[in-house]
Amino acid sequence: MSRISPAPRLDLSAFPDVWRVDDLARAPATISCGAPALDAVLPGGGWPTGAMVEVLQRTPACHVWQLVLPALSRTLQDKAGPIVLVAPPFHPFAPSLAAQGLRPERLLCIHADRRASRLWATEQSLRCEQVAAVLAWLPEARSEELRRLHLAAQQHDRLLFVFRGIVESRQASPAVLRLVVDGIDPIEIRIIKRKGPPVVQSLHLPATSRRLAALLQARRSLRSGDSQPLPAAGGERSHVLDRTAALP
């Protein structure tokens, strides 16, 4: 009686774009977003690393830095490489970056007009060993293209934020976390996709930090003659990173 030899085992490491069952069961590591109210409703207590976070907005640059800067600052403490910005709609305001503890020279901005160029630059940045995190503005990306980026972030354990228009909320996305960010002050955040039960209510976060509010109050007090001590230098810093200069 002849015996049937077992089929050779396929080496899935040669196919990085294949989504494996063990990937589905693996919970990504997280890094705090710096806002306790938001951390409390995010799976794992923060932004997932090695996965895509999709931020949907009416205005492409509104409140971006309030959301991501605390996590980026913590990431740069552990990694020596740059943070890559792909097709940012505005130049970051360097003095405010420095005030927030994020050195402007740690940013690498890639300007690309075509959709294909943006996608290529984002994927190559995710696969670069020296890169610490990637922020990409991809308003025209399709679901299958986003999936490829998500897998690249997963394979290389990168912190990845993708910013798109609010109208894209109706389309399917491979992102493990999707947020709609709207409003001016306060900022309204709606979590439309996460692991676990849905979040029914929106979150409302102040557009200004506690430190900036204290500084403004101290200035008003000085003008009125009621002198108040300024906040300690070690406290929470201003959110003024959102002051930007338009691209030429």
The predicted pLDDT at position 233 comes to: 43
Residues 15-49: tens digit of each pLDDT: 544 545 444 445 568 999 888 999 999 999 999 99
Among the ranges given (100-114, 116-130, 146-160, 216-230), the one the predictor scored with the smallest mean pLDDT: 216-230
What is the rounded distance in angstroms from the CA atom of residue 24 to the CA atom of residue 241? 36
What single DSSP character describes residue 170? G
Interacting residues of 230 by C-beta distance below 8 A, sequence separation 6+: 214, 215, 218
pLDDT at 247 over 50: no
pLDDT at 165 over 70: yes
Q: What percent of the chain has pLDDT over 90?
A: 42
Residue found under tokens 């308003």: 139
Q: Where are the beta strands (DSSP E) in the chain?
A: 30-31, 47-48, 51-57, 83-86, 90-91, 107-110, 133-137, 159-165, 177-182, 187-193, 203-205, 245-246
The token duo for 177 is: 């976390």
The predicted pLDDT at position 151 comes to: 95
User: Is the separation of the CB atoms in 60 and 163 below 8 Å?
Assistant: yes
Please give the distance of CA 107 from its chain centroid, rounded to a whole number. Answer: 14
Task: Provide mean pLDDT across the span 171-188.
Answer: 89
Task: Provide mean pLDDT across the span 172-198.
Answer: 90
Task: Provide mean pLDDT across the span 147-171.
Answer: 93
Higher per-residue confidence, 56 vs 186: 56
Task: Provide mean pLDDT across the span 53-57.
Answer: 95
Q: How many CB atoms lie within 10 A of CB 194?
A: 17
What is the rounded distance in angstroms from the CA atom of residue 208 to the CA atom of residue 72? 18
Whose CA is closest to 62, among 237, 174, 233, 205? 205
Task: Provide mean pLDDT across the span 151-178.
Answer: 93
The token duo for 67 is: 């959301």
pLDDT at 239 over 80: no
Among the ranges given (124-128, 223-227, 229-233), the one the predictor scored with the smallest mean pLDDT: 229-233
Task: Provide mean pLDDT across the span 121-129.
Answer: 95
The predicted pLDDT at position 214 comes to: 58
- Average confidence score pLDDT of the chain: 79
Long-range contacts of 112-116 (CB under 8 A, 24+ apart): 112/86, 112/87, 115/140, 115/141
223: left (phi over 0), alpha (psi -120 to 50) or beta: alpha
The predicted pLDDT at position 101 comes to: 73
Whose CA is closest to 131, among 113, 155, 156? 156
Helices (H), 100-248: 115-127, 143-156, 210-223
125: left (phi over 0), alpha (psi -120 to 50) or beta: alpha
